[in-house]
């Protein structure tokens, strides 16, 4: 549990008290917009103890981050994400465009010249314009926000950026941020697509959405006071995915 407490790039203050995880909110203008009670409809969300403007308190899940998912994990997770996307949950409106404008302004105010950001703006802007807005999204699904408990159940945590949006974004975000191999990506997407009643993802769209996820990560990273992690692999991934679209 100690390792889990150290994760995250927004809410820095986390502590344990009486088997509860207390998270002191740090506002970015794009997070903590949802009603946390609403996501209690999912049995893979930890129990909400209480919430106010200053903090949110969850029951602790005793487990480890899902940083090396196996086949069964990927299948279960895919079905959990599909359950989110097909639910009647009404979340705040998508705010990706506002986030991008803010990040771009900060980067330009710093007089940073980052070709991979500026040169791909038109491609990414066209994609944003065409993105769907009807699916409930977590918007931050990666291994640090996934916990596997001692019974093998997977829990999805850190919902602070949840909004409505396009299901392809959530899928691409998990694949890219978790650096899934081609084999694991195929297992994950096949499991998500395993239904006759749901219009699943469109495979041809995935390279562009995966490029977008990495491009957005560059924007977010360079908009911070200090770059939070090395960006070399992300630059390379943007260039690599651009060749696929």
- Show pLDDT as tens, one digit a residue, over the chain (245 residues): 333 334 455 555 577 888 999 999 999 999 999 999 999 999 999 999 999 999 999 999 999 999 999 999 999 999 999 999 999 999 999 999 999 999 999 999 999 999 999 999 999 999 999 999 999 999 999 999 999 999 999 999 999 999 999 999 999 999 999 999 999 999 999 999 976 666 688 999 999 999 999 999 999 999 999 999 999 999 999 999 999 98
- CA distances for 45 relative to 88, 99, 123, 126, 214, angstroms: 16, 26, 35, 34, 26
pTM of the model: 0.92
- Which H or E element spans position 20? strand 20-24
Domains of the chain: 64-242 (3.90.1200.10)
Integer Cα distance of 95 and 126 in angstroms: 16
The tokens of 189 are what? 């997407």
> Of 35, 55, 71, which is closest to residue 162 (Cα–Cα)?
35
Enumerate residues 6+ apart whose C-beta is below 8 A from 56: 22, 23, 25, 32, 36, 48, 50
CB 91 within 8 A of CB 162: yes
> Of 114, 97, 60, which is closest to residue 235 (Cα–Cα)?
114
Instruction: Find tokens 């993802």 and name the residue.
Output: 201
């Amino acid at each position: 549990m100690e390792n889990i407490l150290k994760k995250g790039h927004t809410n820095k203050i986390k502590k344990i008290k009486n088997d509860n995880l207390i998270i002191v909110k740090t506002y970015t203008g794009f997070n903590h917009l949802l009603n946390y009670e609403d996501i209690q409809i999912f049995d893979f969300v930890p129990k909400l103890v209480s919430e106010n403007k200053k903090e949110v308190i969850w029951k602790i899940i005793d487990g480890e981050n899902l940083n090396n998912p196996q086949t069964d994990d990927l299948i279960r997770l895919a079905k959990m994400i599909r359950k989110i996307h097909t639910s009647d949950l009404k979340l705040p409106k998508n705010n990706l465009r506002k986030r991008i404008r803010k990040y771009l302004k900060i980067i330009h105010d710093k007089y940073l010249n980052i070709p991979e950001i500026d040169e791909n703006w038109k491609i990414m802007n066209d994609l944003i314009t065409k993105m769907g807005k009807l699916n409930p999204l977590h918007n931050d699904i990666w291994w640090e926000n996934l916990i596997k408990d001692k019974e093998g159940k997977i829990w999805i945590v850190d919902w602070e950026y949840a909004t409505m949006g396009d299901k392809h974004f959530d899928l691409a975000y998990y694949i890219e941020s978790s650096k899934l191999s081609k084999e694991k990506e195929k297992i994950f997407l096949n499991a998500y697509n395993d239904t006759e009643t749901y219009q699943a993802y469109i495979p041809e769209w995935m390279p562009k959405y995966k490029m977008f996820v990495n491009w957005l990560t560059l924007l977010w990273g360079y908009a911070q006071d200090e770059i939070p992690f090395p960006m070399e692999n992300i630059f390379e991934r943007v260039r690599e995915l651009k060749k696929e679209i």
